[in-house]
């Protein structure tokens, strides 16, 4: 089967599964809500904190909220954008597990390799556009377009990681909802890592998506080796995807 035919067939099924679940539809809408709230809320809050004497704050060493924009964008746009897409497709995979659709693939003309490529590639591609759109709408702490595209592309790999995590470790959608909290908490790595000085900050790199956020911060600072950190983050995320695929195959076809 040609890949275009596979995308059309599975895509129609995905649209049907997502369209009948209001929670999954809201996940896509939530990305837009985040972008709009941050676009108008960050400048307003920055001014309000300054006018009310909250910032600058000598104790915490913060002169203005604008200093934290890179941290906020890394967590709320680059990571959360991928988290939302990964959650949606993680629940689609759980639906397919519940309906035994995945096992049925073994007796269909759809090659397993193409199915896996679709399940990994589609979340990453959609995450790229959603993250990029979110970052542009927020319009704060932006890099030059070429750098921003590379950072967003690196961040999009978190989407298939999250979808495969749900599909591998959750037995059903009820457990999936419980694990979705873990996905959000994992993103706190960006918040914690921002305040941890180097070299201890690199320990947060045990969470592979953090490397993308770190590369983004380094690029904003004009650090010449930001691209090396980005490549490391991409390689680690690909390695995690391959490991999760092995786990998923064992779980899905048992």
What does the pLDDT look like over 173-219, one tens digit per residue? 778 878 788 888 888 999 999 999 888 888 898 999 999 999 999 99
Show me where the domains of the chain are located.
3-252
C-alpha to C-alpha distance for 248 and 46, rounded to whole angstroms: 45
- Listed residue (11, 18, 15) closest to 110, CA to CA: 11
Query: Can you give the pLDDT at residue 200?
Result: 87
Alpha helices of 139-201 — where are they, by DSSP H? Answer: 145-156, 158-169, 173-186, 188-195
pLDDT digits over 235-245, tens only?
999 999 999 98
Cα–chain-centroid distance for residue 167? Answer: 16
Say which residues have a Cβ less than 8 Å from residue 109's Cβ, sequence separation at least 6.
1
pTM to 2 decimal places: 0.90
- Helices 80-98 and 3-19 cross at an angle (nearest 10°) of 90
């Amino acid at each position: 089967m040609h890949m275009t035919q596979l995308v059309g067939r599975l895509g129609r099924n995905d649209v049907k599964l997502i369209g009948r679940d209001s929670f999954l539809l809201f996940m896509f809408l939530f990305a837009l809500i985040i972008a709009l709230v941050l676009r108008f809320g960050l400048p307003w809050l920055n001014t309000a904190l300054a006018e009310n004497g909250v910032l600058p704050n000598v104790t915490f060493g913060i002169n203005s909220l604008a200093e934290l924009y890179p941290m906020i964008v890394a967590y709320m746009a680059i990571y959360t954008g991928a988290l939302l897409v990964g959650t949606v497709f993680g629940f689609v995979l759980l639906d397919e597990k519940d309906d035994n659709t995945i096992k049925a693939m073994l007796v269909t003309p759809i090659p397993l390799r193409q199915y896996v490529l679709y399940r990994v590639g589609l979340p990453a591609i959609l995450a790229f556009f959603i993250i990029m759109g979110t970052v542009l709408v927020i319009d704060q702490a932006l890099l030059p377009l070429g750098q921003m595209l590379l950072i967003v592309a690196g961040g999009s790999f978190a989407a298939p990681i999250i979808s495969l995590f749900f599909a591998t470790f959750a037995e059903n959608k009820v457990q999936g909802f419980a694990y979705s909290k873990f996905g959000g908490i994992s993103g706190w790595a960006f918040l914690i890592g921002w305040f941890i000085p180097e070299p201890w900050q690199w320990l947060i790199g045990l969470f592979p998506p953090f490397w993308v956020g770190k590369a983004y911060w380094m690029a904003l600072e004009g650090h010449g080796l930001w691209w090396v950190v980005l490549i490391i983050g991409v390689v680690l995320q690909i390695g995690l995807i391959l490991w999760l695929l092995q786990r998923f195959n064992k779980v899905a076809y048992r």
